[in-house]
Amino acid sequence: MKKSNYGFSKIVNLSFEQALKKVKEELANEGFGVLTEIDVKATFKKKLDVDFRPYQILGACNPPNALKALQAEEQVGLLLPCNVIVYINAKGQTIVAAIDPVAAMQMVENQALTEVAKGIQQKLKNVIKNV
């Protein structure tokens, strides 16, 4: 698993469709539901008439942790849900990645929120690891 300043990613030996299905399964295993799905390729084609590689953004939510986060900081909804992406990179590899909620919540400066983010971070790391 590769770590960036704002997320975790991994190259997987799956097709785009297989990876997307597996990510959704692993999110469910960690207690997440997918609230939104943005098909970037289809959106760019429809709105811009531009061909783009497969790229899907999933808005994932873990309701118990979302509740804790909103109780700790009512405007944290600006940073929710947690984004998880599946895409084909320029080399033709399938990539899965998730936001690092600890990094995302650093700007809020609320210790209770940081603790919630740490729990979510571990769940998202598990998702990426298990795909």
pLDDT digits (tens, 9 = 90+) for 29-70: 999 999 999 999 999 999 999 999 999 999 999 999 999 999
DSSP one-letter code for 108: G
Specify the CATH number for the domain of residue 40. 3.30.310.70
- Cα gap 13→131, rounded to integer Å: 9
- Cα gap 94→89, rounded to integer Å: 7
Bond prior to 54 in cis (omega within 30° of 0): no
Residue 113 and residue 73 in contact, taking contact as beta carbons nearer than 8 Å: yes
pLDDT digits (tens, 9 = 90+) for 75-126: 999 999 999 999 999 999 999 999 999 999 888 889 999 999 999 999 999 9
Full residue range of the structural domain in which residue 83 is found:
2-130
Q: How many domains does the chain have?
A: 1
- Cα gap 97→85, rounded to integer Å: 5
Q: What is the pTM of this model?
A: 0.93
